[in-house]
Structure 1
Amino acid sequence: MAARVVDERTQLLQRPASEIILRTHTEPTEDLKQERRRATFNFEELAYVLNGGKELLEKKQRFAEILAKTSWGDKSRRYFLGREEEYVGGLRAALGIWEKMKTENLSLEDGALMRTLVDFPGGLELHIGMFIPSIMSQGSSEQQAKWMPLCMGLKIIGTYAQTELGHGTFVRGLETTATYDRQTQEFVIHSPTLTATKWWPGGLGKTATHAVVMARLMVPDERGAMRDYGPHGFIAQLRDLDSHLPLPGVTIGDIGPKVGYNGVDNGYLSFDHVRIPRDQMLMRFAKVTPEGRYVPPPPSNSKASYATMVFVRADIVKNAGSSLGRAVTIATRYAAVRRQTAPAPGERELQVLDYQNCAATLLPLIASSYALSFMGEEMMSMYRRFEQDRDRGEFGALPELHALSSGLKALCTWITADGIEECRRTCGGHGYSKLSGLPTLFQNYVQNVTWEGDNNVMCLQTARYLIKALAGVQQGKRAAGSAAYLNDVVSELAPGSRCAAACDECWLRPDVAAAALRHAAARSVASATATLAAATGGKGLAFEGRAWSENTVDSIRAAKAHCTFVLHQTFVDSVARLEAAASVSPPAGGQGQSVGADTAAVLRQLAALFALEQMERSGGVAALLEDGYMSAAQAAALRRRHRLLLAALRPNAVALVDAFAFPDYLLNSALGRADGDVYRGLLEMARGSPLNATQEGPAWPEVLRPVLAARSRL
């Protein structure tokens, strides 16, 4: 096509009009550069902390460059794929990473980092995330020796089949059975009802060859009477390793499209009297002997089977901060370059981030993403300590870890899922485009509020732990761990207990904010305990039946209040450790173990904003006013300090999200580009739409042309 020529008269006519526009036009790239110059701290220093040190951060950036150049890591068509293309592409990416790990002798940690960067969920998610961890945590040494080489060599691909059509979080209610046949020394895996059909396991639909199946262990006693020993884990082969066809007695398939995460083939599965060898019951703790005698785990580790679920929940907490951080990075960078409404004719439009309502959305979400990130690191440290204890046969930390991981799984995923959507809304119309990266991020993340335990049920598990702890305190026992504040519940809730904030600035003090959150948690736990006790007519606490099921609102509120207190306390403690480390080893080396005074000051502001935001947003202020702990004047001071914190943190907004150091490759967002060239990015990504493959479009020949051709006959 010949180049179009615009005549000189037309150009001269247009020139003054263009000059009027250019007088107030701004380049978004310059806006973002100016934002970075405004920062009051060194964001690179903080980036090392958030990414595990300078070496790991540089590795992440290097991997991103390498992965972008692979065929299976290329993201240019990612937002234009259909369901089948997503599934095949996600699986190719997972296998590409696995092959790179093997050929380049990379570690499992390197593989996990590459999976995060490629960000293409596929059929290996549960093989890596639950099948292997289940064997490692629940399998005997002999079972690990047999199955782990097969897993690591991808000779088999596994999944974890627990949830059923009729039962999810209530594991004891599972209907799939594993009945022991003493004569053949086999288990018969069977789905006796329609609702016993396994439903949702990732990779089950079309990928997995094996599964860890959670089934009710049934063992006949010597008189032939069947004994139900509850859910246990069994390794079952599902598909032929040569043909990939289902084995006899196995009905299996894909459950269809979902809100998101469609590269993963979540599946259904039922068994019709399928036999497996006795040694395919996971027997690190509980066992069934060849003679059919059930050997329960020692009382000290009777709940060891929860370890895999605890690990997954701890991992969900860890990933929440990163997922919210990605969303708020995109939204903050875009809000810093997006302009709207000039103060006066002929002046430049204002940056959207300068509107207080936008800052009041994004800055607290930045604070939350930091709180979740620090909490995630602490949760994984707690889990690693538990693993060390478990290997020594000590399980004393499991109840606390189970309760905390359950409640935090709920609170952190609620904060993150809601936060991603809030970020999308701040981006206006462009946030609705998949090219912003936010719709897909939300679609793929929102499953976290229900999978691995519905969030309300998770809160109830935490509440049960807290109520029992308070009941123990009332009987003269001592509460430990995150519930230790309940030891002082009598003085905490005494009529004279009052907030110590004597001025606006007092709300910047970590101890004042922590005291308010602690009081709210103590009051909520005490209220839930009293409500439950009253429901039983003074006959004690009941955690089953109507007394429990009809009084769950207060219990869920107690779990949320407790976990909010823990999140803030962990944030404050983490900043204190980083600052203290700087006095021993200055952060100039940039290794990610400490921060200087300027960075610490900004982090303390973020921690304060997180606390005040949670009290405002969750109704905590109203509860504390109702309780008499806080006065109206103190509540007003809290609100004023909240608004002043928004203004104080505004110059650091972009630097704070830069510190997450998410490569553009990971964000895959036109709006979140590190260079700020967002509008060019939108246009370039849009040109890749398959609808743009031809100028006429795919509907022209058979749909549009006949209709438009009829105009000549009118």
Structure 2
Amino acid sequence: FLIFNKYHIPRENILNKNADVTPEGKYVTPFKNPKDRHGAALGALSVGRVNITGICENYGTKALTIAIRYAAVRKQFGPDGQEEVPILEYQSHQHRLLPYLAGAYVIRFFSMFLIEKTYQFTIDSLLGQNKELLPDLGMEIHVVSSACKPVAGWFFRDAIQECREACGGHGYLKAAGIGDIRNDHDANCTYEGENHVLIQQTSNWLIKQWSLIESGKKIATPMRSADFLSSSSQILKNKFTANNLEEMCNPKTIVDAYQWLVCYLLKATKNKLDTLLRKDGDEFWAKNNSQVFYAKSLGIAFIQHFFLQHMLGVIEEAPDVNIRNVLLRLFSLYGLFSLEKFLATLYEGGYSQGPKATYLIHEGILTLCSDIKDDAVALIDAVAPPDFILNSVLGASDGQVYKNLQSAIFRNPYSMSRPSWWQDIVTWNANIKNKL
């Protein structure tokens, strides 16, 4: 570690990208507005969180590679008198893994987009280019990364655990590799900002945007993550209108539901905050006591909508119709899988009435899982790391699960002999004497 105690730093060594101190001791900055300077600084501090989003996806993809390849090979049970079937054929197994596969693709594309935006921001900052855009872009990168890092961390934490369990007892083996992936990923939920604390940065910014909307101003951000909020009054009047599975899985249906959800949660969070402020006037406790069910849910819904919004752009640019169709199914599966967790809010706010929304979302998830099932191995192969990086006997690209497992056991130098401590187990009670 390193400690500075009353240590003088020469002026020439000061980090002075956004501000400086002259030899006469005068503070100077190219940003006249302190908020602009703050926004530019926040963008630079966001690089770590942006990169962690991609790291989360990499760990999740490794675990999914192992679990999906294993599920395509591992056979268990089957109809009477017939051969056993691969466990990937079972609906419950598809539901355990394939929504996470869809999410891995959605977050992978988003992470690449955000990394590109962040690096361009860094280059422009260093070269002094696009100075008028930097403050707003820096602030938006801060807001977006403060939500996507927690949501990606939580999503792939759950995905990795599900992959471990989906491989049964084999998944718990050291040679399977999932335990190491789980341990390596775990820190992503804490460093560069503990997730529950970090996501408050996003909801705080959104609440400020709501105040601007109430005063009649339009929201326009460089990455367009929150531009739809300008139409919040109309969005909040919308209702659930899907009548069948085709309409339910349509991207517009899912995006419309998410836009309503974000607007509703934003309004509800602002109202909750105002109520608490009127009650005791303490802003610190008012913010902290409006997190659960309000601000935290708002931050999650906001970034999930942005994930989907960007994924739509990726789909539109896909060069091949077959690729576009597969990406659409992944989009819809991730969208419905995520939206299903907000069903109570959709009913609470009056967006949905009756059982139709619940039924169609559930049926949509199961239908999409079945549709994606036959492409699952090809989809994971397209993003899987090489075998020497995967380092798993269950997930090798050759599909020889049992052969690789046997080989790993036989290669262990101690597998053919007694352990050195065998006598401690067999004769542990030999020297115990009866005290009677």
2:86 — aligned with what? 351
Partner residue of 1:644 out of 367, 370, 378? 367
**CA deviation after TM superposition for structure 1 residue 638, in Å:** 2.1
Matched, 1:531 2:304: no
Indicate the SS of the match to 1:536: helix
Q: What's 1:368 paired with?
A: 103
Q: What letter matches 1:662 in structure 2?
A: P
- 1:609 is paired with a residue whose SS is helix
CA contact (8 A) 2:43 2:139 kept: no
- Give the structure 1 partner of residue 150 of structure 2: 410
**Structure 2 SS opposite 1:566:** helix
Is 1:509 aligned to residue 242 of structure 2?
A: no
Q: Which has the higher contact order (CA 8 A, sep 6+)?
A: 2
* Residue matched to 1:320: 56
More helix by share: 2
The reply to whether residue 658 of structure 1 matches residue 393 of structure 2 is no
Distance 2:12 2:39 in 1: 21
Q: Hey, what's the Cα distance between the residues in 1 that align with 2:333 and 2:84? A: 28
Instruction: Check conservation: 2:44, 2:122, Cα contact below 8 A.
Output: no
Matched, 1:569 2:309: yes
Residue of 103, 116, 119 corresponding to 1:381? 116
TM superposition shift of 1:365:
0.8
AA at the equivalent of 2:74: R
Paired with 1:539 and 1:696, the residues of 2 have a C-alpha distance of: 70
Could you list the per-position Cα deviations for residues 331-366 of structure 1 after superposition, in whole angstroms to 9, with x for gaps in the alignment? 000011111123224x32221111111100111011
Shift of 1:383: 1.3
CA shift, 1:378, in A, is 1.3
Tell me, yes or no, if structure 1 residue 699 matches structure 2 residue 434. Answer: no
Q: Output the CA distance in 1 between the equivalents of 2:150 and 2:74.
A: 33
Compute the displacement of 1:530 (Å): 1.1
Counting matched residue pairs gives 419
Q: Show the counterpart of 1:280.
A: 13
In the superposition, relative to structure 1, how do residues 634 and 706 fare at CA in structure 2: closer, same or farther (>3 Å)?
Answer: closer
- Is contact 1:321-1:416 (8 Å) kept? yes
- Measured after TM superposition, the shift of residue 277 of structure 1 is 3.9
Q: Who is 1:490 aligned against? A: 233
Could you tell me how far apart the structure 2 residues matched to 1:551 and 1:445 are? 29
Cα offset, 1:708, TM superposition: 9.5
Q: 2:37 aligns with which of 287, 294, 301?
A: 301
Aligned equivalents of 1:348, 1:511: Cα separation in 2: 42
TM-score (norm 1): 0.56
| Aligned partners of 1:320 and 1:372 also within 8 Å | no
Residue of structure 2 aligned with 1:681, choices 386, 404, 420: 404
Note the 1:245-644 alignment, pairs <5 A. 252=1, 269-274=2-7, 276-290=9-23, 292-295=25-28, 298=31, 299=33, 300-345=36-81, 347-390=82-125, 391-392=128-129, 393-394=131-132, 395=134, 396-480=136-220, 481-494=224-237, 497-537=238-278, 544-553=283-292, 554-578=294-318, 582=319, 596-616=320-340, 618=341, 620-631=342-353, 632-644=355-367
* Larger strand fraction of residues: 1
Q: Point out where structure 2 has 5 or more consecutive residues left out of the alignment.
A: none
The superposition leaves residues 235-288 of structure 1 with CA deviations (integer Å, 9 ceiling, x where unpaired) of xxxxxxxxxxxxxxxxx4xxxxxxxxxxxxxxxx54555555443332222334
In the TM superposition, what is the alpha-carbon distance from 1:508 to its structure 2 partner?
A: 1.9
Query: How far does residue 704 in structure 1 lie from its aligned partner after superposition?
Result: 5.8
**Identical residues among aligned pairs (%):** 30
Query: Are the aligned partners of 2:333 and 2:368 in contact in 1 as well (CA < 8 Å)?
Result: yes
Deviations 1:662-712 (A, max 9, x none): 2111111111011111122122223444644x72323258x468759989x
**Larger-Rg structure:** 1
- The separation in 2 between residues aligned to 1:706 and 1:512, in whole angstroms, is 69
1:293 positional shift: 4.6
Distance 1:474 1:408 in 2: 27
Distance 2:377 2:425 in 1: 47
**Ranges in structure 1 where 5+ consecutive residues have no aligned partner:** 1-251, 253-268, 583-595
Q: Which amino acid in the other structure matches residue 108 of structure 2?
A: S
Partner Cα separation in structure 1 for residue 8 and residue 414 of structure 2: 51
Is the contact between residue 485 and residue 522 of structure 1 (CA under 8 Å) also seen in structure 2?
A: no
Q: How does 1:138-177 map to 2 (within 5 A)?
A: none
